[in-house]
């Protein structure tokens, strides 16, 4: 009994688990049988029936009013007198029905032949269509997809440039600051487009191309947006990487299509961002270059200044790698002007800060001039990020306006990274304090070094402690004494460790410092001619960035003897600066200990306080670096 119950239960559960797809398939299978079956047979048990003999008798008795003979189904539909006309009686006929037909004629009974073959054919057609229509729909779906794929394949050669009839970038020249020389050059381009008669009247022609050159973040793309916003002419913008595809000839086709559209909308502007992606030197690869990229570049060269030429089209391109561009691309007639967009100076940084401070709540006590002085080398993008980080910190601290505290924290975060957990009092903390004070003390005591801004033991990024130096003025050129002062200050951390703890206790904290001083000393010898080897340039400026095919075979060629002398000179410069740093720290050991105690207690010493303490305990001297090397 238990087995039977389990079996019944399993059947019920399996019936419940029948998926809807299986149920639907079962209903579709049963549908032809339901629709194709004889409706008369399905209703036969529910209605009165007559035998063949009874039909003949009733015909003789005059009880039959009408008969319909269906030879396809071999059935007769009999309508008796006094019966409803919509409910005939069905009678199965014989193969030969001569007697019945004679009786119907003798008794004048209305009879006729009807056929259900047409209705059965219609039902069969409907059933077939139920299977055919989904197949046809599926075929149409595949056909549509293949058509779309073929159309996309045909569109590979179409330009993907974004087109605006009148570019509304929301950027004007007044929104761009810190690059006044570049703005002046580009404002002439806008004047060319708006008032060409002013220049053509004296025989001047519109420049065909302007190449914006500068490091990342200096505002090259922003200047292009400002030109588009000021000119009020059709504007095409595209990236250099969008020309190159995996299919051969696509890049050249896109260049042709771009200039075709531009000629239809002339006068217009074309902006190509990161043109070095497609404009690299031809034949620069070992064993052959990228043929597809070279074909694209050849087409670009032809379109810019080929046999047909183009009138009324100004091309603006941006790159931070002008050294890898093909020489044919840089010649006049293609890019007539090369505009340098360099990192801003002090005045430029101040103007950039004013632009980005428009939509931010800055406390009146904050001096933008002080921020500009503290951020040498910052680009426009860096300054925008700086104020944005300060605003985020202000919101996080639930303040109403950005104060100088948020600005200082934002500068530290942008330059050095996120703030870490402060170190607890330990030997490690005191060792780091000696290391950082060593840097700052040497930099303060050497007159050719930049002044100290802050010394801190608060970790940031990967650094366990930081020493900040800020130059008083912009330095375009650096003297030999300044470089040696920087080397000595950079080695001050290792020197302090050795003086206080001894050589066995020096740590790996100076690893990055040693890389920096080695690089500076080597540049003094091989690039700047600041050694006993004389005024020789023995290495390229970009010796660390080998451009295959061009620089590989053209590396600096000097003998092994000269290489040995270079190593010797580098070693002498570093050794002399290191010895100088050790002597300065030994002579000012009292100031070193006083500053280490204060730094360990407060964790941060500002530049003014640091210099005040140094002045109380020492006398600034710079005679030790006067020895010529």
Contact partners, residue 552, CB within 8 Å, separation at least 6 = 286, 546
Closest among 80, 81, 97 to 89, alpha carbons compared: 80
Provide CB contacts within 8 A for 417, sequence distance 6+: 460, 461, 462, 463
Checking if the pLDDT of 1 tops 60, the result is no
The pLDDT, as a whole number, for residue 427 is 81
Supply the pLDDT for residue 74.
Answer: 75
Give tens-digit pLDDT for 132-145. Answer: 878 888 888 877 77
Least confident window among 29-38, 144-153, 198-207, 462-471? 29-38
pLDDT over threshold 70, residue 301:
yes
Average pLDDT over residues 451-478: 81
What residues have CB less than 8 Å from 242, skipping those under 6 apart? Answer: 160, 161, 254
pLDDT tens-digit series, residues 585-597 = 999 999 999 999 9
Burial of 22 (0-12, 13-18, 19+ CB in 10 A): exposed
**Residue 520 and residue 487 in contact, taking contact as beta carbons nearer than 8 Å:** yes
> For the residues 107-111, what does the mean pLDDT come to?
75
Q: What is the pLDDT of residue 134?
A: 83
- Cross-strand bridge partners of residue 467: 455
d(CA 569, CA 478): 20
Burial of residue 101 (number of CB atoms within 10 Å: 0-12, 13-18, 19+): middle
SS3 122: helix
Query: Which residues contribute to the annotated binding site?
Result: 214-221, 435, 439, 513
3-state SS of 236-264 is EEEEHHHCCCCCCCHHHHHHHHHHHHHHH
The predicted pLDDT at position 377 comes to 83
Q: Residues 599-619: pLDDT tens digits?
A: 988 888 998 999 999 988 765
Give the chain's domains with CATH numbers.
Answer: 40-115 (3.30.720.210), 162-340 (3.40.50.300), 346-416 (1.10.8.60), 427-544+556-626 (1.20.58.760)
In terms of residues, how long is the chain? Answer: 629
> Which residues are known binding-site members for ATP?
214-221
Q: How far is CA 601 from CA 309, 411, 596, in A?
A: 72, 24, 8
pLDDT at 527 over 80: yes
* Cα atoms in the Cβ-side hemisphere of radius 13 Å centred on 161: 26
Instruction: Report the pLDDT value the prediction gives residue 542, as an integer from 0 to 100.
Output: 52
* 318 φψ region: left (φ > 0), alpha (ψ -120 to 50), beta (else): beta
Strand partners, 64: 80
Tell me the CA end-to-end span of the chain in Å, nearest whole number.
108
Residues β-bridged to residue 463? 460
**Strand 466-469 to 337-340 pairing:** unpaired
Report how far residue 214's alpha carbon sits from residue 470's, in angstroms, rounded to the nearest whole number.
24
Model pLDDT for residues 377-410, shown as the tens digit of each residue: 888 899 999 999 999 999 999 999 999 999 988 9
What are the C-alpha distances in Å from 418 to residues 138, 380, 421, 463, 554? 58, 21, 10, 10, 42
Name which of 242, 279, 278, 236 is nearest 260 in CA terms.
236
Active site residues: 436
Residues above pLDDT 90, as percent of the chain: 21
Give the separation between CA 382 and CA 389, rounded to whole angstroms. Answer: 10
Work out the average pLDDT over 26-50: 45
Residue 476 CA to residue 481 CA, distance in Å, equals 15
Residue 14 reports pLDDT greater than 50: no
With both helix axes pointing from N to C terminus, report the angle between 560-587 and 427-445 in degrees, rounded to the nearest 10.
100
Give the tens place of pLDDT for each residue, 416-450: 877 777 777 778 888 999 999 999 999 999 988 88
366 neighbors 407 (Cβ within 8 angstroms): yes
Burial state string for 225-235 with b = 16 or more CB within 10 A and e = fewer than 16: bbbbbbbebbb
Residue for token pair 């079956």:
37
Q: What backbone phi and psi angles, to 5 degrees, belong to 33? A: -65, -35
> pLDDT > 70: what percent of the chain?
77
Query: Can you say which residues are annotated as belonging to the binding site for Zn(2+)?
Result: 435, 439, 513
Give the pair of three-digit tokens for residue 61.
Answer: 């008795």
**How sure is the predictor about 310, in pLDDT bands with cuts at 50, 70 and 90?**
low
Q: Is the pLDDT of residue 30 over 90?
A: no
Query: CA 230 → CA 183, 187, 207, 224, 259, distances in Å?
Result: 12, 9, 17, 10, 22
State pLDDT tens for residues 234-290: 888 888 888 776 566 677 888 888 888 888 887 888 889 889 888 888 776 554 455
**For the segment 501-511, what is each residue's pLDDT rounded down to a tens digit?**
999 989 888 89
Cα distance between residue 75 and residue 95, in whole Å: 10
Per-residue model confidence as pLDDT tens digits over 485-496:
999 999 999 999
For residues 575 and 149, the model is more confident at 575
| CA quadruple 456, 457, 460, 462: dihedral, nearest 10 | 130
Other Cβ atoms within 10 Å of 321 Cβ, number: 15
pLDDT at 557 over 80: no
Looking at the predicted structure, is the pLDDT value of residue 72 above 80? no
For tokens 């920096």, the residue is 516
Token representation of residue 254: 């896109």
For the chain, give the mean pLDDT.
78
Contacts of 319 by beta carbon, 8 Å cutoff, 6+ apart: 211, 212, 213, 274, 275, 276, 279, 325
């Amino acid at each position: 009994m238990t087995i039977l119950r389990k079996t019944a239960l399993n059947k019920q559960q399996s019936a419940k688990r029948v998926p809807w797809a299986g149920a639907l398939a079962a209903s579709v299978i049963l549908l032809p049988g339901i629709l194709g079956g004889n409706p008369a047979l399905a209703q036969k048990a529910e209605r009165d029936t007559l035998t063949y003999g009874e039909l003949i008798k009733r015909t003789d008795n005059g009880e039959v009013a009408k008969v319909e003979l269906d030879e396809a189904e071999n059935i007769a539909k009999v309508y008796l007198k006094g019966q409803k006309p919509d409910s005939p009686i069905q009678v199965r006929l014989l193969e030969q029905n001569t007697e019945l037909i004679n009786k119907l004629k003798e008794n004048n009974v209305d009879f006729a032949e009807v056929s259900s073959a047409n209705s059965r054919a219609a039902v069969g057609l409907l059933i077939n269509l139920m299977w055919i229509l989904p197949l046809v729909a599926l075929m149409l779906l595949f056909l549509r997809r293949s058509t779309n794929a073929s159309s996309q394949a045909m569109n590979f050669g179409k330009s993907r440039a974004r087109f605006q009839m009148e570019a509304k970038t929301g950027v004007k020249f007044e929104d761009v600051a810190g690059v006044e020389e570049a703005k002046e050059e580009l404002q002439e381009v806008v004047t060319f487009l708006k008032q060409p008669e002013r220049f053509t009247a004296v025989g001047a022609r519109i420049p065909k191309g302007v190449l914006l050159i500068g490091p990342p973040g200096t505002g090259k793309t922003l200047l292009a947006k400002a030109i588009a916003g000021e000119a009020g002419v059709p504007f095409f913008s595209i990236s250099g990487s969008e020309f190159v595809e995996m299919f051969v000839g696509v890049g050249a086709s896109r260049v042709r299509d771009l200039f075709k559209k531009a000629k239809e909308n002339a006068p217009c502007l074309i902006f190509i961002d990161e043109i070095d992606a497609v404009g690299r030197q031809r034949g620069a690869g070992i064993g052959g270059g990228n043929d597809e990229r070279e074909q694209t570049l050849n087409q670009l060269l032809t379109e810019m200044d080929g046999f047909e030429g183009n009138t009324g089209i100004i091309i603006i391109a941006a790159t931070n790698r002008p050294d890898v561009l093909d020489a044919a691309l840089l010649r006049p007639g293609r890019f007539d002007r090369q505009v340098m967009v360099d990192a801003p100076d002090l005045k430029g940084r101040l103007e950039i800060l004013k632009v980005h401070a428009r939509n931010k709540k800055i406390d009146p006590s904050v001096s933008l001039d002080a921020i500009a002085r503290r951020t040498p080398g910052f680009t426009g993008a860096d300054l925008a990020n700086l104020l944005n980080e300060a605003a985020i910190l202000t919101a996080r601290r639930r303040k109403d306006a950005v104060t100088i505290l948020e600005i200082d924290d934002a500068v530290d975060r942008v330059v050095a990274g996120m703030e870490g957990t402060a170190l607890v009092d330990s030997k490690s903390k005191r060792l780091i304090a000696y290391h950082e004070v060593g840097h700052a003390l040497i930099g303060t005591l050497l007159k050719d070094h930049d002044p100290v801004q802050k010394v801190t033991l608060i970790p940031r990024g990967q650094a366990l402690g930081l020493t900040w130096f800020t130059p008083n003025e912009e330095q375009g050129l650096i003297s030999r004494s300044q470089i040696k002062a920087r080397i000595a200050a950079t080695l001050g951390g290792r020197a302090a460790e050795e003086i206080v703890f001894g050589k066995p206790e020096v740590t790996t904290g100076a690893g990055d410092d040693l890389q920096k001083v080695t690089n500076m000393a080597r540049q003094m010898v091989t690039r700047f001619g600041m050694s006993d080897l004389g005024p020789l340039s023995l290495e390229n400026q970009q010796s660390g960035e080998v451009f295959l095919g061009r620089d590989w075979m053209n590396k600096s060629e000097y003998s092994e003897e000269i290489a040995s002398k270079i190593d010797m000179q580098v070693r002498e410069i570093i050794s002399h600066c290191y010895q100088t740093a050790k002597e300065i720290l030994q002579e000012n050991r009292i100031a070193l200990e006083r500053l280490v105690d204060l730094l360990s207690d407060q964790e941060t010493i500002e530049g003014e306080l640091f210099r005040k303490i140094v002045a109380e305990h020492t006398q600034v001297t710079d005679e030790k670096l006067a020895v010529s090397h």
